[in-house]
């Protein structure tokens, strides 16, 4: 039998049910992998006892015939989800030591479904970053290497870089992520795994540390499309505690999986075929087109004319919302307090925030405060929200001609840590293909498409109309079946 840690979520679930192994064996195997991979720095907190307790419960439930959808499956939890009694930091110094007295809706749903927690996964600080280099708790390192003796540590993507690194390294079979402007899809692409951001509102934001509330959306990351469907079914659902939660039933996405795309139309957005597009990225995109055609789909060219404005609009809207959301960190109610000798209340606020936030977080708070300030609000924020409406309209028009859109996930494969830290703009450009779907609130996923000439993973992105995660998953499955992506990082850690 394959090693337990090589199994997918579906294989663990089904093998456990069939009695091939116990849940405790699975949890112990993953706990051991987590403990042996500290050099990747994927976890901020490890919780082997949580995973074992859930596993023992699953073993008892199996004996009693009361199995739940994720019984026996241990997962990783991005450290942006509040977990009762377990430190939750958003990878910031500001929240170091913060121990929630409540549980996020999404994590509670996963525990209710029988899943166990292997630990809290590292991320970019407050989910702001595309390389996991802004964490107060240190960089996450991708298990992938360029090979041929080049051992430069590579970025696992961000902000869900702990999640992507841990899954690719077989430290967990699946993990939660959150996606504000590509933070599930880009790290999935960088590490050769899958991840889906559902329609805005599918997963409750309650208990997820807020970055940009009109964009933040939780979703799963795993090695297969089926595993993403299983996880998403157990994360999504209406929650009265989130005012923007969708009051819709959760579809049976796993049961609905079908890679037969006969009668389906796949749109290729001409504006994404940018001048100077990376040759490997273009090749894998062409492969994706051929695979979807092979699955029975008709390929049509579509136009998303405002695509080039998505990224600048995002870098007004997201910082504006962040500056407002992060105003709560004041050194009074929770988190860090920095009180210099003789400081008054205002000075305490400013000192606390200066000490608690990292440079990228401060940069975004500053940008957000500026674009919302008197005299600039209309020129920046209102204009950006109008452009956002046009971007959403572009997608609505495109989906009159096609069922899903196929595009690259990111403009390149993983880069080395440190390569893009000197220039914030060059880092932001990583999300150029991911941000438009975020601004429009649409479901979008990344699946592995192939490798660069140098042997690093590249992702293909599928974007669907609002509420149609099934179409996205099905196109992803059609690609997965044809891409035959079996590459995995050679173990060095």
* 5 is a site residue for other proteins (CB under 8 A): no
Active site residue 78: yes
Most distant CA pair in the chain: distance in Å?
A: 72
Q: Which is nearer to other proteins, 239 or 480 (CB)?
A: 239
* 22 is a site residue for other proteins (CB under 8 A): no
* DSSP track, 148-186: TTB-PPBP--SSSHHHHHHHHTTS-SEEEEEESSSTTHH
Q: How far is CA 371 from the centre of its chain?
A: 27
Min. distance of Cβ 85 from other proteins in angstroms?
10
* 303 is a site residue for other proteins (CB under 8 A): no
E strands, 236-297, where?
Answer: 265-269
Min. distance of Cβ 349 from other proteins in angstroms?
4
Task: Kindly identify the residues of this chain, within the stretch 348-387, that bind other proteins according to CB under 8 A.
Answer: 348-351, 353-354, 357, 362-363, 365-367, 369-370, 373, 376, 379-380, 382-387
* 93 is a site residue for other proteins (CB under 8 A): no
Task: Kindly identify the residues of this chain, within the stretch 409-448, that bind other proteins according to CB under 8 A.
Answer: 424-425, 429, 432-433, 439-441
Active site residue 438: no
Active site residue 373: no
Please name the residue that has the structure tokens 């050099």.
Answer: 39
Task: Kindly identify the residues of this chain, within the stretch 176-205, that bind other proteins according to CB under 8 A.
Answer: 199-201
Residue 489's region, left for phi above 0, alpha for psi from -120 to 50, else beta, is: beta
Residue of 104, 135, 183, 323 marked catalytic: 183
Measuring CA to CA, which residue among 204, 232, 219, 228 is closest to residue 78?
A: 219
Handedness of CA 171, 139, 215, 436 (dihedral sign): negative
Q: Which is nearer to other proteins, 233 or 321 (CB)?
A: 321
Q: What distances in angstroms separate CA 123 from CA 133, 179, 417, one per listed residue? A: 8, 12, 14
Min. distance of Cβ 114 from other proteins in angstroms?
27
Segment holding 444, helix H or strand E:
strand 444-451
* 214 is a site residue for other proteins (CB under 8 A): yes
CB 109 within 8 A of CB 234: yes
Task: Kindly identify the residues of this chain, within the stretch 131-160, that bind other proteins according to CB under 8 A.
Answer: none
* 316 is a site residue for other proteins (CB under 8 A): yes
Please name the residue that has the structure tokens 């992803």.
Answer: 476
Query: How many chain residues bind other proteins (CB under 8 A)?
Result: 82
Residue of 159, 194, 204, 245 marked catalytic: 159
- Which listed residue (43, 315, 399, 485) binds other proteins by CB under 8 A? 315
Spatial separation of the C-alpha atoms in residues 271 and 70, rounded to whole Å: 41
Backbone angles phi, psi at 268, to 5 degrees: -115, 115
- Which listed residue (255, 282, 332, 396) binds other proteins by CB under 8 A? 332
* 247 is a site residue for other proteins (CB under 8 A): yes
Min. distance of Cβ 363 from other proteins in angstroms?
6
Task: Kindly identify the residues of this chain, within the stretch 252-271, that bind other proteins according to CB under 8 A.
Answer: 271
Residue of 71, 78, 420, 438 marked catalytic: 78
Pairing of strands 194-197, 217-222: antiparallel
Q: What 3-state class would DSSP assign to 459?
A: strand
* 128 is a site residue for other proteins (CB under 8 A): no
* 468 is a site residue for other proteins (CB under 8 A): no
Q: Which is nearer to other proteins, 240 or 279 (CB)?
A: 240
Positions marked active-site: 78, 159, 183
């Amino acid at each position: 039998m394959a090693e337990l840690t090589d199994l997918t979520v579906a294989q663990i679930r089904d093998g456990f049910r069939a009695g091939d192994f116990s849940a405790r064996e699975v949890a112990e195997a993953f706990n051991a992998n987590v403990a042996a991979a500290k050099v990747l720095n994927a976890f901020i907190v490890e919780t082997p006892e949580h995973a074992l307790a859930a596993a023992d419960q699953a073993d008892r439930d199996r004996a009693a015939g009361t199995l739940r959808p994720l019984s026996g499956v241990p997962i990783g939890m991005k450290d942006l989800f509040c977990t009762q009694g377990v430190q939750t930091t958003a990878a910031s110094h500001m929240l170091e030591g913060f121990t929630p007295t409540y549980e996020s809706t999404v994590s509670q749903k996963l525990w209710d479904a029988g899943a166990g927690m292997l630990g809290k996964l590292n991320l970019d600080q407050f989910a702001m970053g595309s390389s996991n280099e802004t964490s107060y708790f240190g960089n996450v390192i991708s298990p992938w290497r360029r090979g041929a003796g080049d051992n430069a540590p590579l970025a696992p993507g961000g902000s869900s870089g702990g999640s992507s690194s841990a899954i690719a390294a077989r430290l967990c079979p699946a993990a939660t992520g959150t996606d504000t402007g590509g933070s599930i899809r880009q790290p999935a692409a960088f590490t050769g795994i899958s991840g889906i951001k559902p329609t805005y509102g599918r997963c409750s934001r309650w208990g997820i540390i807020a970055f940009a509330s009109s964009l933040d959306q939780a979703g799963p990351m795993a090695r297969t499309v089926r595993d993403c469907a299983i996880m998403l079914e157990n994360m999504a659902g209406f929650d009265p505690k989130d005012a923007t939660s969708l009051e819709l039933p959760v579809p049976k996405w796993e049961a609905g999986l079908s890679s037969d795309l006969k009668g389906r139309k796949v749109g290729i957005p001409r504006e994404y075929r940018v001048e100077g597009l990376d040759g490997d990225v273009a090749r894998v995109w062409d492969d994706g087109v051929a695979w979807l055609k092979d699955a029975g789909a008709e390929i049509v060219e579509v136009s998303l004319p405002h695509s080039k404005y998505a990224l600048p609009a995002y870098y007004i809207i997201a910082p504006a919302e962040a500056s407002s959301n992060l105003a709560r960190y004041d050194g009074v109610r929770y988190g860090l307090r920095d009180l210099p000798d003789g400081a008054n209340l205002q000075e305490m606020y400013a000192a606390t925030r200066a000490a608690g936030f990292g440079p990228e977080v401060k940069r975004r708070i500053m940008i957000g405060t500026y674009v919302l300030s008197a005299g600039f609000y209309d020129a920046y924020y209102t204009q950006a929200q109008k452009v956002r409406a046009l971007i959403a309209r572009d997608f609505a028009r495109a989906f009159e001609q096609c069922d899903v859109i196929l595009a690259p996930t990111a403009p390149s494969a993983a880069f080395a840590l440190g390569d893009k830290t000197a220039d914030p703009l060059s880092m932001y450009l990583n999300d150029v293909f991911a941000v438009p779907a975020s601004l429009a609130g649409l479901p979008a996923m990344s699946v592995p498409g192939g490798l660069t000439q140098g042997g690093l993973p590249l992702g293909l992105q599928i974007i669907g109309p609002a509420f149609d995660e099934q179409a996205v998953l099905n196109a992803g499955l059609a690609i997965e079946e044809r891409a035959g992506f079996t590459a995995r990082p050679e173990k060095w850690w």
